[in-house]
Chains A and B, each alone.
Chain A
Amino acid sequence: MSEYQSESLGQRALRQLLKKKFVVFCFAIIALYLFIAFLGVIGLLPDYQERVAAPYQPPSLGFATLLGTDIFGRSVLYKILAGTQTAMTIGFLVTAISVPVGVALGALSGFYGGKVDAFIVWLYTVIVSVPYILMVIAISYVLGKGLVAICIAMGALGWVGLCRLTRGEFLKHRDREYVMASRLLGASDMRIIFIHILPNVIHLAIITASLRILGAIKSEVILTYLGVGIQDGSSWGTMISDASGELVQGIWWPLTGVAAAMFVIIYALNVAGDALRDALDPKLLD
């Protein structure tokens, strides 16, 4: 018993996560995709716009033609790798915007209550009353479409769920003894919020972040099909959109390749998200 008591929540969660081999494997896959994205950022990925063979060649041995070629004879594999960079960028950019906003607004709302709370609740009630995709499209239009535009649009709208969760937790925590004790000792509001309460609710942000990444990657495909996504060819969304016309000509490899690449990372993120939730907060529902 004593050895368990000496463990922090984070250590216990880590031990639980490492116990399941499949979960570790999924984290390794996420790391691999991140590594590919990193290679793209420092310019080490092969140029996907280069012509490597005749148009519409089925998969054959050889690195560039492993997954066949597209209408311009470009390597499907290289396009998928470039798309990986785009997808991971979107996933992490959206999360980097929406998670801090959600935590900050939820914390302010739950901690202060009153007018601050009324305003923040009003703000997210307004946001959820308008169809999400419509808002993302409209904001992307305002910002001039493209990668950064849809990231900002999704980030600006994606904080609501986490804000609600965080708000609820802060409401519960703000009257607890430990908060009163630190207030009596003269701690400022900011110190109480960030040093004392936040560590007790930060697991919500971690769990939400893993789901937000995969949500953003999936949304990119839909937004691109609807016409506001990535405009050049380096995204999974563009590849999947093109594939519907190719399939009836018997060209199955671009769709199969990109669908498989996307399935693997979304599946790994799903498993990782579930495992994080089980380890950190088993009571939390989707």
Chain B
Amino acid sequence: MSYIVRRLLYMIPTILGVALLVFFLFSVAGEDPVRIALGSHASPEAIAALEAKWGLDRPLHMQFLGFLGQIVTFDYGESFISGEPLSDMFAEGAVVSLSLTLPPFVIGQVLFVSLSILIAYYRDSWLDRFATAGTVMTMSVSYLVYIIAFQYILAYQLELFPIRGYASGLEGLQYLVLPSLIILVVSIGPNVRIYRTVFLDEMNADYVRTARAKGVGEAGVLFKHVLKNAMIPILTYTVVAIPFLILGSFLMERYFSLPGVGDLLISAINNGDFPVLKGLTMYIAIAYSVFNLLTDIAYAYVDPRVQLN
């Protein structure tokens, strides 16, 4: 318990660092939001009025203090462009992003573990060699090439899915299948490659030799002993990826015009929409810190050898 409290306290300097980075990077990066909102021929009075309204006329350190206040209260204000409260934008975007990334993530974990166990079981056979060569090959194709090829074949030629776009509610689901499928396909190679190494490492461990010596069959060794132990490193890879599921995928959302968090962020950079940029980034950074802590706690929970201190 005292460990958790201490870790939560450690999060403060991290969050402060992210706030500093995000604030200064996005204050100088991106376009000038006032100029975008009013056009380049606006009168100086109109510019000054809008800057005052958005609080951009305050000195930078005062703006930063205001931003810290927003972080503490979890209220990041409204978007410069749409005037929507940020919490609403984040909630709406997160639903789209999670619908996009969660299915391939869940299906993926089951698929990666099954495939890697199979490959590890038949290690050094033609299947293993084929799979190893295959993973490297699939990892060598550009993400964007996958997107273009899948969209062209499955959506354009076979007309199985809409080409791109989005609709809210259940109707939106049909637009999400193709991008989700691409995310799943692209993630098979790198993950199976890592999981295979994890399983092979465990198979060379001493406890496997002990189990074999006392007469446990190969399947029993794999599912009773190796799988349980391999879950520890796999858990680590898995949990840290979860906060980035909320982020969705910059490329996928941009390409298929899906209004997820990634798409909101890219639009915000192009429009100089500071509240959106700062707010969404802070949401993600805090989620990332919390999930990192959860990983360590889960780690100690599944592996009694790990001590939290």
Q: A interface vs B, CB < 8 Å?
A: 122-123, 125-131, 133-135, 137-139, 141-142, 218, 221-222, 225-227, 236-237, 240-241, 243-244, 247-248, 255, 259, 262-263, 266-267, 270-271, 274, 285-286
- Which residue of chain A lies nearest to B193 when distances are taken between CB atoms in the complex? A286
Cross-chain contact B13 with A122 (CB below 8 angstroms)? yes
A171 to B137, CA, bound (A): 36
Residue from A122, A244, A286 in contact with B14 in the complex, judged by beta carbons closer than 8 Å: A122
Cross-chain contact A285 with B197 (CB below 8 angstroms)? yes
Cross-chain contact A225 with B255 (CB below 8 angstroms)? yes
Cross-chain contact B26 with A262 (CB below 8 angstroms)? no
Residue from B141, B190, B269 in contact with A138 in the complex, judged by beta carbons closer than 8 Å: B269
Cross-chain contact B152 with A247 (CB below 8 angstroms)? yes
Cross-chain contact A226 with B266 (CB below 8 angstroms)? yes
A142 and B250 contact, Cβ closer than 8 Å, known pairs A126-B17, A130-B281, A240-B148: no
B159 to chain A, nearest CB (A): 13
Cross-chain contact A243 with B148 (CB below 8 angstroms)? yes
A211 to B190, CA, bound (A): 13
Cross-chain contact B139 with A270 (CB below 8 angstroms)? yes
Q: B interface vs A, CB < 8 Å?
A: 13-14, 17-18, 21-22, 25-26, 28-30, 136-137, 139-145, 147-148, 151-152, 156, 190, 193-194, 197-198, 244, 247, 250-251, 254-255, 265-266, 269-270, 281, 284-285, 288-289
Cross-chain contact A130 with B266 (CB below 8 angstroms)? no
A84 to B198, CA, bound (A): 35
A130 to B17, CA, bound (A): 11
A259 and B145 contact, Cβ closer than 8 Å, known pairs A129-B18, A138-B29, A270-B136: yes
Cross-chain contact A240 with B145 (CB below 8 angstroms)? yes
Q: What residues on B are CB-neighbors of A286 within 8 Å?
A: 190, 193-194, 197
Cross-chain contact A130 with B284 (CB below 8 angstroms)? yes
A269 to B297, CA, bound (A): 37
A230 to chain B, nearest CB (A): 14
Cross-chain contact A131 with B281 (CB below 8 angstroms)? yes
